[in-house]
C-alpha cells in the first residue's frame, strides 16, 4: 500500500507512525522541517518553544510513544500552570495535573523523532498544490507541475483553511468534494503572535506559566522557558508570551520592534515588574493559522473515505493541542490500516 500524507506536522507524522511497515508512506511538507507547530528556536545558548509549549500524555498511545519510542532527551516541564483574568488577577492552579513534556533541545525534536520512528519518506520544501483522483488512485502535483504518485490513499493534515483550498482546486469528480470543501472551510482558525523575551537576570515565580481563563486579556499565555531543563542558562530568564487572537490579528503585520515592545509592556504589567518592559533581546514568531476554534464533524469527513481520502489534525480533533493532533493522526493511520486490510 502506498500512502501520501500532505503535511508533516505532528498529525501527519502520527499517520505515518500508525501505518508503520504496513504502508510505503511519503509526507509532503511545504517547509524545510517536520513537526509543524512543535517548533523551537535557539539563540545565545537558549532554546525556546515558539508554537506549542509542551506535549501532554493524556492518551495511552501518546504516552507509550513518548515514553517507549521517543524518550531520548525528553524532559518534564517543572512547575504548574496558573490562571489570570481580564484584570490581570492571578490565581493558583487550573486543575490540570497531567505531565507536561518537551525535549532538552526543544519541542521541535518531537517531529524529528516521529519521522525516524515512522520510517516514512519526507519530501521537504514540496508544497502540494493540486490533488488529482483517477483510476482509483491519487496523484499530488507541486507548484512546478511535477506529479507524484499513484497513491492508494491520501491523507490531508494542513490547517483547515489550507485543506479547504486544496479540496477547492482538486481534480476529483465526486459529489462529496463540494460539501467537504464547504464544511472544512467553515472550521474557524485564529492567528497567533508568539514572542520570546530574554532577560540577563532571573525571573522567579511559583509557577511555570500563566493562561488567561476568561479569554478577555491581550495576553493569552505567558510561559517561563527556564522551567524546561536545558533551555536557559542559569541566572537568565526567557519568557514566551503568546497573545490573544484579536490582539494577534490586529498587530500581525506590525514591525517586530513594535510588537515586541508592546508585548514586553504587557508582560511587565501582568507580572508587576517594570524591569520586564526592557528585554535585552526578543524574537517574534507569526502563526497565520495557528489554532482551531472548533472541530469538523467526523461523519462528514468520513464520507471521503470511500474514495480513499482521509483527514487528520488538531482541527479534526477539535482542540488546538499537540497531543490532540498526534492522537488524530494515530487514529487516521489505524483506520486506514484496518480498512485496507479488510479490503484485501
pLDDT, greater one: 342 or 302: 302
250 and 308 co-located in one domain? no
Residue-level pLDDT at 63: 83
Q: How many domains does the chain have?
A: 2
127 and 165 co-located in one domain? yes
pLDDT digits (tens, 9 = 90+) for 54-73: 998 767 888 888 888 888 89
267 and 198 co-located in one domain? yes
Residue-level pLDDT at 295: 92
Q: What CATH number is associated with residue 170? A: 3.50.50.60
The average confidence (pLDDT) of the chain is 94
pLDDT digits (tens, 9 = 90+) for 204-226: 999 999 999 999 999 999 999 99
For a pLDDT cut of 70, what percent of the chain falls above it?
A: 97
57 and 126 co-located in one domain? no
The mean pLDDT value for 36-47 works out to 97
12 falls in which pLDDT band (50, 70, 90)? very high
| DSSP notation for 1-65 | -EEEEE--BHHHHHHHHHHGGGSEEEEEESSSSSBTTS-EEEETTEEEESS---EE--SHHHHHI
Number of H helices, E strands in the chain: 10, 20
182 and 72 co-located in one domain? no
165 and 97 co-located in one domain? no
Using the 3D structure, point to which of 260, 275, 292 is the last residue of a domain.
292
Using the 3D structure, point to which of 277, 292, 307 is the last residue of a domain.
292
Distance, CA of 217 to CA of 239 (rounded, Å) = 17
Enclosing domain of residue 145: 1-38+108-186+294-344
314 and 274 co-located in one domain? no
pLDDT digits (tens, 9 = 90+) for 140-176: 999 999 999 999 999 999 999 999 999 999 999 998 9
C-alpha cell at 92: 493558583
Smallest Cα–Cα separation from 177: which of 190, 186, 185, 168? Answer: 168
Residues 6+ away with beta carbon under 8 Å from 107: 35, 38, 39, 40, 49, 51, 52, 53, 54, 55, 322
324 and 281 co-located in one domain? no
> Using an 8 Å Cβ cutoff, are 26 and 148 in contact?
yes
250 and 282 co-located in one domain? yes
145 and 250 co-located in one domain? no
286 and 150 co-located in one domain? no
342 falls in which pLDDT band (50, 70, 90)? low
The model's pTM is 0.94
Using the 3D structure, point to which of 271, 292, 313 is the last residue of a domain.
292
Q: In the predicted model, is pLDDT for residue 339 greater than 90? A: no
Burial of 185 (0-12, 13-18, 19+ CB in 10 A): middle
Q: What CATH number is associated with residue 53? A: 3.90.660.10
102 and 114 co-located in one domain? no
Q: In the predicted model, is pLDDT for residue 343 greater than 70? A: no
Amino acid at each position: 500500500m502506498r500512502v501520501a500524507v500532505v503535511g508533516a506536522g505532528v498529525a501527519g507524522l502520527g499517520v505515518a507512525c500508525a501505518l508503520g511497515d504496513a504502508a510505503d508512506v511519503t509526507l509532503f511538507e511545504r517547509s524545510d522541517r517536520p513537526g509543524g507547530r512543535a517548533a523551537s528556536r535557539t539563540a545565545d545558548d537558549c532554546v525556546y518553544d515558539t508554537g506549542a509549549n509542551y506535549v501532554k500524555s493524556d492518551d495511552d498511545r501518546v504516552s507509550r510513544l513518548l515514553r517507549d519510542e521517543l524518550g531520548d532527551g525528553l524532559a518534564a516541564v517543572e512547575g504548574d500552570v496558573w490562571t489570570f483574568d481580564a484584570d490581570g488577577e492571578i490565581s493558583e492552579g487550573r486543575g490540570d495535573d497531567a505531565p507536561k513534556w518537551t525535549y532538552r533541545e526543544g519541542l521541535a525534536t518531537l517531529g524529528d523523532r516521529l519521522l525516524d520512528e515512522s520510517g516514512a519518506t519526507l519530501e521537504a520544501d514540496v508544497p502540494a498544490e493540486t490533488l488529482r483522483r483517477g483510476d482509483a488512485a491519487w496523484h499530488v502535483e507541486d507548484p512546478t507541475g511535477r506529479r507524484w504518485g499513484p497513491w492508494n490513499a491520501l491523507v490531508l493534515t494542513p490547517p483547515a483553511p489550507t485543506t479547504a483550498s486544496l479540496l477547492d482546486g482538486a481534480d476529483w469528480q465526486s459529489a462529496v468534494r463540494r460539501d467537504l470543501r464547504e464544511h472544512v472551510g467553515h472550521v474557524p482558525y485564529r492567528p497567533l503572535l508568539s514572542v520570546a523575551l530574554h532577560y540577563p537576570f532571573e525571573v522567579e515565580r511559583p509557577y511555570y506559566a500563566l493562561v488567561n481563563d476568561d479569554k478577555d486579556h491581550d495576553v493569552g499565555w505567558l510561559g517561563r522557558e527556564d522551567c524546561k531543563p536545558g533551555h536557559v542558562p542559569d541566572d537568565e530568564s526567557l519568557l514566551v508570551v503568546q497573545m490573544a487572537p484579536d490582539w494577534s490579528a490586529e498587530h500581525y503585520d506590525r514591525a517586530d520592534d513594535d510588537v515586541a515592545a508592546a508585548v514586553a509592556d504587557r508582560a511587565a504589567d501582568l507580572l508587576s515588574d517594570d524591569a520586564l518592559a526592557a528585554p535585552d533581546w526578543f524574537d517574534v514568531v507569526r502563526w497565520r493559522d495557528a489554532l482551531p476554534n472548533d472541530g469538523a464533524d467526523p461523519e462528514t469527513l468520513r464520507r471521503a473515505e470511500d474514495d480513499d481520502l482521509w483527514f487528520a489534525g488538531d482541527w479534526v480533533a477539535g482542540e488546538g493541542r499537540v497531543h490532540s493532533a498526534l492522537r488524530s493522526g494515530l487514529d487516521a493511520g489505524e483506520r486506514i490500516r484496518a480498512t485496507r486490510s479488510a479490503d484485501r
